[in-house]
Amino acid sequence: MIELDESPTMVTVGASLFADALSAQVASPLQVQWAPPVPGSDADLAVIAADGRTHAASAESVRRLTAASPRWVDVVPAREALGLGPREFLHAGPPVAWADASGPIRGALAGAMIYEGLAENFEEAGRIAAQGGISLEPCHSRSAVGPMAGVVSASMPVSVIEDEENGRRAYCTLNEGLGKVLRYGAYSPEVIDRLRWLERVLAPLLGATLRKRGPVDVRSLIAQALQMGDECHNRNRAATSLLLREITPDMLESGARSEDIVAAFRFINGNDHFFLNLSMPAGKVAADAGRDIPGSTMVVAMARNGTEFGIQVSGTGDEWFTAPAPPVKGLYFPGFGPEDAGLDIGDSTITETTGIGGFAMATAPAIVLFVGGDVSDALENTLRMYEITLAEHPFYKVPILGFRGTPTGIDATLVVRSGVLPAVNTGIAGREPGVGQVGAGLVVPPMSVFVDAARALARRAAPQGAPGRSESRNQ
Amino acid sequence: MIELDESPTMVTVGASLFADALSAQVASPLQVQWAPPVPGSDADLAVIAADGRTHAASAESVRRLTAASPRWVDVVPAREALGLGPREFLHAGPPVAWADASGPIRGALAGAMIYEGLAENFEEAGRIAAQGGISLEPCHSRSAVGPMAGVVSASMPVSVIEDEENGRRAYCTLNEGLGKVLRYGAYSPEVIDRLRWLERVLAPLLGATLRKRGPVDVRSLIAQALQMGDECHNRNRAATSLLLREITPDMLESGARSEDIVAAFRFINGNDHFFLNLSMPAGKVAADAGRDIPGSTMVVAMARNGTEFGIQVSGTGDEWFTAPAPPVKGLYFPGFGPEDAGLDIGDSTITETTGIGGFAMATAPAIVLFVGGDVSDALENTLRMYEITLAEHPFYKVPILGFRGTPTGIDATLVVRSGVLPAVNTGIAGREPGVGQVGAGLVVPPMSVFVDAARALARRAAPQGAPGRSESRNQ
C-alpha cells in the first residue's frame, strides 16, 4: 500500500502537451508574426508612424476606453433621453437613406412608424418614408446603439448607461426577445403590441426599480459573465441571469402591481439576449470616452446597416469609413438558408470594438454551437485579436488563458499592417422586411474601411514634433 | 486595397500550437500510460481481472449512474423523508462515534441538539452524546448526503431528489449560506435562528413552489452550469443563478406572504453555494442507481467525517473502506492558516464520484482563485481523471475539451493499477467546534481505501465463468 503525500503528476503525453502549450502562452506574450501590409498602404502607415502624436494618443484612447465604468441608471423614453422628435428615427450602422436601406431596416422603420401612429401598414410607411416624411440618423450620432436594424423612435423606452468615471451617457432600447421582433425587421401586430408593453409596463417598472436600488454595475456583470461562458454579444445567458439576481429584490419591492412584476420577470427570464442591450451601450459609453483624440488610431465604432459596414476612428472624429456590408457565414434556423439572409447589420459590433464579443470568444466555447465553427476557432479568434489591439482589458479576463485581459482597442493601422481583420460574431437577419432572424454566424469586416481610415489619419498626421495638419476634427 | 473572402488563418506560432494541441486531444482519445500497480495489489487485481463478471458489471454500474435523471420534487421535514426519530442524527462520511468525532461534527451535532431542544449549550450536548443519549448514523445509510459535517436531525427540512428513470430518491438539507453555519461546526444562536427560519419560512415556500410548478430538472441545470464556469462542487454560481430563474415565477405566484418571498429570494441570491445541496443529492441518487451489482468495481460513494475518509464500491455492498482523513491543501480566509484547519470532511465528494466537482474542473477555470493552483491544474485534473473512470458522461460536457463528456464512474481497480487518485476540491472547516469555514482547497484521497476495496472485490470474485464466491452482498 502506498500513500501519496501530494498530488500525483501528469501521466498522459497528450494532457501535458496541452497544459504546456497553454502555460507557455499564458506565461509569455505571443510571438508576433507580421504579414506584409495591405498593398498601397505603406506610405500612409509610414506617415502615421512618423507622427509624433500617434503612440501617446492611441494609448490615451485605450486607457480611457478601459477605464470606463458603465452603470445602468435609468429607463426613460427616447424623446426625453435622445431629444427625438415625432418624425425622427434612428437606425443601426453608418448613415443610409430609405432608398438604399436594407430589408430589415425598412421593415423596422415601417414597424416603428406604425407603432408611432404615423402609418397604418408597411406600404403606407414606405410611401411616407420615400417622400421624405421622416428623418433618418445613425444611433451612433446620438450616443446610442441599436442591435440589428437598431431602429429607435420617440416613444420607445431606452436604457440610460452612465460612465461613473466621467458622467458620459449612452443609450439603447430594451431587448424585445426572440422570434418576430422589430430589430430583425418584423412589423406584424404582435411586434407592435410587444413594443407597447415594453413602453407601458416593463420600462416604468425597470425605471422605478433602478431609481429605488441605485445603478447596476454593468462592468462587473460583464466581467463575471466572461468567467461564466458568455462573450456578451451572442451569448448573454450568464449575464442575463446575474442581472435578474441584481434587480429582482428591488423589483419585488418597487410597489408595482404583482402581475406586472411576474410578467416582467418571465419576459426577461425568457430571453437570454436581454443583457445584450446593456452590454452594447456599456461598450458605446466606453468607446466614446476614447473618441476625438488627435492622432489616435483606435477604432471607436464599427457598425453596419445591412447595406454598408462602417467604422469611426478616434483621430478622425465623426467621419465614417464605409464599404459594402459583407455576408455572414453561419448556422441557419430550420427552414432558412443563405438565400434568405440579409447582409451584415447592427451596432452590436460595439462589443468587439471594446474587447468582448468575437474578441472574447475564448471565454465562451459553447457559443460555437450557435454561430458555427469548433472550440479551437473560438480560442483562435481571441488569440488572433491580440495582434491588432492596443491593450489587454484590466477588468475583462479570459480564465482559460490564465486570466489574461481580453484584447481591447482595435488599432486601425495594425489591422492594415498585419492583414488581420476583427473577429465578429452576429445574428443573421432575413433579407426581406418582415421575416425576422434566420440564423447566427461569423463575419469578416471589409479591409478597405481600415485602409481608408489609415489614409485619413495620414492626411491629418503631424510631422514629427509638429502639431497636426488638420484644423477641424469633424468632417 | 485587399478584400478577403474568408477569415484569415492563424498568424502566431503560439496560438496555433495551443489550438493544435487542443484539437489533437479533442479529436483522439488520450494515450494511456500505465504506472506500475500499487505494490502488493497485483494478486488482487489479477483475480478481479479473471472474474468473468467484472467488465459487464462495471459497465452496467456506470450505465445506470449516467442514465439517472435527478429532479428536485419537494422539500419536507427529515423526520418524514428519512424516518428520523427525535434522538437520531445523521452525519457526513463513514460511521463514527462521538468519542472519535472531529471538531466540526461535534460542533454541528451540538448545534442540532440545541436546535431540537435536547440541550441548552455545547457542554450539555457533549455530555448527553458521550453518554449515548443520541444515536449516530452516516447520511449515506439513509439515502442522504450532507456537505461538511453533514448533520441532519428530525426537524430539519430536506430536499427530495427523485430519479425520473427509476423512482429512487435521495435527500439533502437546505444550504444555510456562508459564514457561521452548522455544516462547518458552528452552533451559535445566529446559526440556530437561521435553522429555524429555514424550517418555518424557506422550506414551506420552496415545497409549495415545487408542488405548484412540478419538478426542477437538476440534470439539465448541472449540464448547463458546466458550460457556464461551474463544476458544481465548490463553484455553483451559474447553477444557483439558473435555479433562481427556474423557481422565481412560481415562487411569486405561490400565494406566500410577499415579505417571505423577498426574504427567500434574497437568501438564495446571497449564497452561490445554494445549488450544492441539490447537486449533491443528484449525485447520490445517480450513484445509488449503480450500487450492488456483483462484480462491479465502480465506486458508489466517497465520503469523509473529518476523522476518516471512506469509500463504498458497487460490488461490495454497504461495506466502507476507510483510512485516516487527509489534510486539505488550499487557500485560507484572512485570519486563518493551516494550523486552524480540520481534516477532510463532508459527503460533497459525491460530486466527484459522479463525474463533476474536481473531475469537471476544466469547465471551471475560475475556481482556482478559490481553491488554489492555476488554470493548467484545473485542466490537468479533468484530463487525468479519464485514466481512472469507466465512461464519459453523456449529459455533462466540457466545452473547452470540444464538448467531451466529463470523466465519470471511478473504477477502484484502475486507481490501484494506475496510481492516479481521484481529484477532489473541497471547503476547509476549522478544526475546533464552533469556528466555521476557514478556507478551500484540493485534497488527495488515501490510496489504501482503494487497495482495501480491491482486496474485498478479489475475495468476492468468481472464477471465470462461475458465479461469485460471496453469498451475502452486505457485510
User: How confident is the model over A244-255, as a mean pLDDT?
Assistant: 96
Chain B hits for A327, CB-CB cut-off 8 Å, are none
Q: Of B3, B22, B33, which is closest to A379 when you measure between CB atoms?
A: B22
More confident of the two residues A69 and A33: A69
Name which of A23, A42, A227 to mutate to probe chain B: the one with the most chain B Cβ atoms within 10 A of its Cβ: A227
Our CA dihedral for A245, A246, A247, A248, rounded to 10 degrees, sits at: 30
Establish how many alpha carbons lie within 13 A of residue B240's alpha carbon, considering only the half-sphere containing its beta carbon: 24
A18-27, A71-80, B18-27: range with highest mean pLDDT: A71-80
Nearest to A182 by CA among A390, A434, A471: A434
- Check pLDDT > 70 for residue B422: yes
User: How confident is the model over B39-44, as a mean pLDDT?
Assistant: 93
B380 touches chain A (CB under 8 A): yes
User: How confident is the model over B403-430, as a mean pLDDT?
Assistant: 96
Please tell me which residue of chain A has the smallest CA distance to B377: A19
CA dist list (Å): B118 to A216, B114, B324: 47, 6, 31
The pLDDT-based confidence of B112 (bands split at 50, 70, 90) is very high
Answer yes or no: do A15 and B30 touch at CB < 8 A. Answer: yes
Q: Given the C-alpha cell 475583462, which residue does it identify?
A: A396
- Check pLDDT > 50 for residue B1: no
The pLDDT-based confidence of B34 (bands split at 50, 70, 90) is low
Chain B hits for A33, CB-CB cut-off 8 Å, are 11-13
User: How confident is the model over A144-149, as a mean pLDDT?
Assistant: 98
What pLDDT, on the 0 to 100 scale, is given for residue B70? 98
What pLDDT, on the 0 to 100 scale, is given for residue A179? 84
B33-66+291-460 under CATH 3.90.1700.10, yes or no: yes
- Taking the C-alpha atoms of residue A261 and residue B454, their distance in angstroms, rounded to an integer, is 58
More confident of the two residues A475 and A330: A330
User: How confident is the model over B94-103, as a mean pLDDT?
Assistant: 97
Please write the tens of the pLDDT for every residue from A454-473.
Answer: 999 999 998 654 544 444 33
- Taking the C-alpha atoms of residue B375 and residue B366, their distance in angstroms, rounded to an integer, is 8
What pLDDT, on the 0 to 100 scale, is given for residue A464? 56
- Chain B 274-293, CB below 8 Å of chain A: which residues? none
- Taking the C-alpha atoms of residue A460 and residue A92, their distance in angstroms, rounded to an integer, is 28
A374/chain B closest Cα distance in angstroms? 7
Burial of A95 by CB count in 10 Å (0-12 exposed, 13-18 middle, 19+ buried)? middle
Answer yes or no: do A14 and B1 touch at CB < 8 A. Answer: no
What pLDDT, on the 0 to 100 scale, is given for residue B29? 38
What angle do helix axes A237-252 and B237-252 make, rounded to 10 degrees? 40
Decide: helix, strand or coil at residue A191: helix
- Check pLDDT > 80 for residue A22: no
The pLDDT-based confidence of B464 (bands split at 50, 70, 90) is low
- C-alpha grid cell for residue B353? 464520484
% of chain A at pLDDT higher than 70? 90
- Check pLDDT > 80 for residue B5: no
Angle at A298 between CA A293 and CA A303, to 5 degrees: 110
Q: Of B25, B35, B258, which is closest to A11 when you measure between CB atoms?
A: B35
Name which of A31, A226, A368, A375 to mutate to probe chain B: the one with the most chain B Cβ atoms within 10 A of its Cβ: A375
What pLDDT, on the 0 to 100 scale, is given for residue B27? 37
- Check pLDDT > 70 for residue A60: yes
- For B335-393, the DSSP string reads T--GGGBPPSEESTTHHHHTT-GGGGGGG-GGGHHHH-S-HHHHHHHHHHHTTSEEEEE
User: How confident is the model over B229-254, as a mean pLDDT?
Assistant: 97
- Taking the C-alpha atoms of residue B328 and residue B337, their distance in angstroms, rounded to an integer, is 11
Average pLDDT, chain B: 91
H or E stretch at B393: strand B389-398
Q: Of A3, A19, A262, which is closest to B249 when you measure between CB atoms?
A: A262
What pLDDT, on the 0 to 100 scale, is given for residue B462? 80
- Check pLDDT > 50 for residue B8: no
A28/chain B closest Cα distance in angstroms? 10
Would you report the helix, strand and coil content of chain B in percent, each value rounded to 5? 45, 20, 35
Answer yes or no: do A421 and B4 touch at CB < 8 A. Answer: yes
Decide: helix, strand or coil at residue A451: helix
User: How confident is the model over B169-193, as a mean pLDDT?
Assistant: 95
What pLDDT, on the 0 to 100 scale, is given for residue B417? 96
The pLDDT-based confidence of B10 (bands split at 50, 70, 90) is very low
- Tell whether the torsion through CA atoms of A98, A101, A103 and A108 is positive or negative: negative
Decide: helix, strand or coil at residue B470: coil
What pLDDT, on the 0 to 100 scale, is given for residue A462? 80
The pLDDT-based confidence of A235 (bands split at 50, 70, 90) is very high
Chain A hits for B407, CB-CB cut-off 8 Å, are none
B266 touches chain A (CB under 8 A): yes
Decide: helix, strand or coil at residue B321: strand
User: How confident is the model over B183-199, as a mean pLDDT?
Assistant: 96
B399/chain A closest Cα distance in angstroms? 6
- Taking the C-alpha atoms of residue B187 and residue B110, their distance in angstroms, rounded to an integer, is 7
Chain A hits for B7, CB-CB cut-off 8 Å, are 421, 423, 442, 444
Helix ranges restricted to H, A419-463: 447-459
pTM (whole model) above 0.95: no
The domain segmentation of chain B, as residue ranges, is 33-66+291-460
User: How confident is the model over B298-326, as a mean pLDDT?
Assistant: 98
What pLDDT, on the 0 to 100 scale, is given for residue B177? 93
Chain A hits for B18, CB-CB cut-off 8 Å, are 21-22, 25, 379, 383
What pLDDT, on the 0 to 100 scale, is given for residue A369? 86
- Chain B 415-454, CB below 8 Å of chain A: which residues? 418-421, 423, 442, 444, 446-448, 451
User: How confident is the model over B164-177, as a mean pLDDT?
Assistant: 97
Answer yes or no: do A252 and B244 touch at CB < 8 A. Answer: no
User: How confident is the model over B49-53, as a mean pLDDT?
Assistant: 95
First to last CA, chain B: 80
Q: Of B20, B227, B447, which is closest to A1 when you measure between CB atoms?
A: B447
The pLDDT-based confidence of B38 (bands split at 50, 70, 90) is confident
What pLDDT, on the 0 to 100 scale, is given for residue B407? 98
B27 touches chain A (CB under 8 A): no
The pLDDT-based confidence of A370 (bands split at 50, 70, 90) is confident
Lowest-confidence pick of A364-378, A436-450, A454-468, B174-188? A454-468
User: How confident is the model over B372-390, as a mean pLDDT?
Assistant: 94
- Taking the C-alpha atoms of residue B300 and residue B312, their distance in angstroms, rounded to an integer, is 6
User: How confident is the model over B261-277, as a mean pLDDT?
Assistant: 97
- Check pLDDT > 50 for residue A29: no
Answer yes or no: do B2 and A33 touch at CB < 8 A. Answer: no
User: How confident is the model over A267-290, as a mean pLDDT?
Assistant: 98
What pLDDT, on the 0 to 100 scale, is given for residue B294? 98
Chain A hits for B384, CB-CB cut-off 8 Å, are 8, 10-12, 15
- C-alpha grid cell for residue B23? 484539437
A466 touches chain B (CB under 8 A): no
- Check pLDDT > 60 for residue B222: yes
Chain B hits for A402, CB-CB cut-off 8 Å, are 374-376
Chain B hits for A35, CB-CB cut-off 8 Å, are 11
The b-or-e profile of A195-217 (16+ CB within 10 A means b, else e) is beebbebbbbbbbbbbeeeebbb
The pLDDT-based confidence of B6 (bands split at 50, 70, 90) is very low
H or E stretch at A209: helix A203-213
What pLDDT, on the 0 to 100 scale, is given for residue B395? 98
Q: Given the C-alpha cell 484612447, which residue does it identify?
A: A61
B11 touches chain A (CB under 8 A): yes
What pLDDT, on the 0 to 100 scale, is given for residue A34? 55
Residues in chain B: 475
